[in-house]
Structure 1
Amino acid sequence: MGPCFAALLWLHPVGLGAMIPSRLFSARLRLLEGMGRWTPSTQAVLGPGWLLPQHASPRLLSVSCADGAKHQEPRRKKLLSEKQLKRHFVDHRRVLVRGGRGGDGVSCFHSEPRKEFGGPDGGDGGNGGHVILRVDQQVKSLASVLSRYQGFDGEDGGRKNCFGRNGALLYIRVPLGTLVKEGHEVVADLSHPGDEYVAALGGAGGKGNRFFLANDNRAPVTCTPGQPGQERVLFLELKTVAHAGMVGFPNAGKSSLLRAISNAKPTVASYPFTTLNPHVGIVHYEDHQQIAVADIPGLVRGAHRNRGLGCAFLRHVERCRFLLFVVDLSVPEPWTQVEDLKYELEKYEEGLSARPHAIVANKIDLPEARARLPELQARLGQKAIALSAATGENLEELLLRLKDLHEEHVANELARGRQPLRW
């Protein structure tokens, strides 16, 4: 008898037998005892002719039963949906891949009326399925890649020389620009659409006794089991493949600028190193043209020596076709930021700082920033795009310059006989 039913008996000292027929009472009693989670309601349990004592409170009864039900089954953590998981840009993943196991061979003999010595007819087992990494341009992050994959097993062999079916191939969709590492060795660079890499081989199927038939052994009973699939631990590393990469020191306003010109929603705050993961936003134009802009987390002086966030995010700049140097115009001597950023890029990879670029002078809405703009342009020897990501001032000039850089990139790729990157 549960605690709720005992409380109900305590509330009715007259007894339930005088009010309810014995059959109905026994049936209701069995029903109450068989229910694991039963939360009584005042309207459901108490009939129209039942009276509660004045000192009893239905609220206390319901609370005690609810507490009992709460202790019986604790709440589980709500799982994130696939859409919520894809909001986060993941650029590295450790994956355990295991190929499918091969099917077993069979040992059996042919049986047919008036054919006494039919001979062996056990078929071979099917091969296990491979696990294959495939580039999918619809995937932009490693967030959808799981930490463990198991290939499909092959089927066992059968009678009448029937071979088992091979295990199906298991494809893992990865974004363009994925590096595959085993330990510290790069085993694959998936940098072109449609590239594939066999991450784990499936096991070979076992042999049936028909395979061992020979002149000196006309009735073999030997059969072999299927082999286990290959097992590997791989490290997937994504080098962001975007058209433009925004490079700047912490708190320069890169995330605010990306939110202002694209559909990306990176976290924005007033302290340094707010962005700890790269974000990619898509800038849409009227002629259905799309330009991918990557927000590279803030670099510091000495980043090429792996200081600060270091090389973990400098690799994302490698595959950006052109760069946007974002300068905080509100700090003293802002022109030194461009020199330091180019130095870090050149030390990381020779020729990286010489790519087509534009200089963006942010925070022009502040009075001290507007006063430093003429000196910045004089020292750099080129025009800087002065704007404010917070107020949206002069964003049109940046969008036009971004489109010009993209058109130059497309023309250069076509001249070299290569297909330009499309998002």
Structure 2
Amino acid sequence: MNILQKIYYSLSPYVDGHERRIAKFLDGLREADAKQLITKQVTDLIQQDITVFNLWCEWRYRGYRYLGKSTRRQLYANFDHIKSSFSDYSAQHTVDKEKLLDELSALGIDSEQFNKHAEQWVYIKQIMEYLSPARGRYEYRESSTFGKLLRNPNRESLIGDCNQIVTLYIALFALKFDVQLLQLKTYPGHVALHFDGIDVEATRAEFKKYDEPKQEILPIHEIISINLLDVSDDYYRTKKVPATTILESARLASLISSNQELVSRNLEVAYNNSVAELMRSNSYDRALSFALQSNNSKLIDAVGTNGASFYLQKQDFARALKLSEHSSQHAQLQKVIYHNQGAYLMKKQNYHGAIDVFKKIGDEEAVRNCYVGLYQQETSKLPKQFTSTEIKSYKGVIHNLNDYANKSGNKTLIQHAGELRKHL
């Protein structure tokens, strides 16, 4: 980083440019985005550094208080220690290819198939040996936060659940190879890596060939949605995550997960919660924006109706009318808003403005009352006493009085204006 970048990132919520790119990418997601394009972008971000992607998601979407900026910076430094430690281990511990082939042959891999990806098989074996629980480097713990895994390996054991340790395997694999060579093997409650027909059980550092009910082979980018859908670590205190932020997470999952039934349901709930939260804070413009994005007519109606009522009480008639357009009670609400706006203008003695408003709803009686008000305003322009000569200088006022009196339909005013006209 240059000096300007250091100053910027010292003041920003991001540790570095990679965090910022991920945050901007997530913030810009919409359900209408092309899934193929989003999948490619997610895969590219995984290739660059899945640890940053995963840790940022935990900080933003799970709200772990401990994952502040300084802690995240330290955890990234810890991953640098892991990479360095793994590199040293790999240099000192070579893999016997013949023994590795024998191990894989028992699971159905022949020499020809092995030789096609020998370099990758050896590298995966090195990762397995380095992170083997038997060596004490890694310790399994269910529903663990990713931060527990990103420790300095020279000082502490790395702790995580199945999807967290799989994420670390992917991070190390990405240092040397294209992550798209890897896949995921999932069955209810568990995830493992899958490579060239063989399952890599990361929690035990074993090669397997699972045959479990409801198992699936998924593309590698789905590790992100699996982590998003995983349960939180109850050991750590969390802050309240805004519903709109959780919606961001639900959008990402909906775009990259194959479990569309679950993520679609989560997305619907996230929209409902976001709109409800925004309405509770009277943020109706933002609430309407999210409701429209959801294409949920009930949400749109709720925002339109409640928002129109809120702004009506605030006498912000323009915004009330705008929101009422999205209500199923549009015609009824519009009439109420115009009536209240007209009454407000009458009280302010803006009778011409009130007349225009009352005419929109066909309230002839209110229009006539406005002309009575105009008549009274115009009368105040006349002196209390005047001669027959002086009255001629008020010809325009008297003509207005006659016009207002006739439009008001008030016989007393009509008679009064008629008497004044006789002196012209």
TM-score norm. by structure 2 comes to 0.22
Query: Greater strand share, 1 or 2?
Result: 1
Query: Greater helix share, 1 or 2?
Result: 2
TM-score norm. by structure 1 comes to 0.22
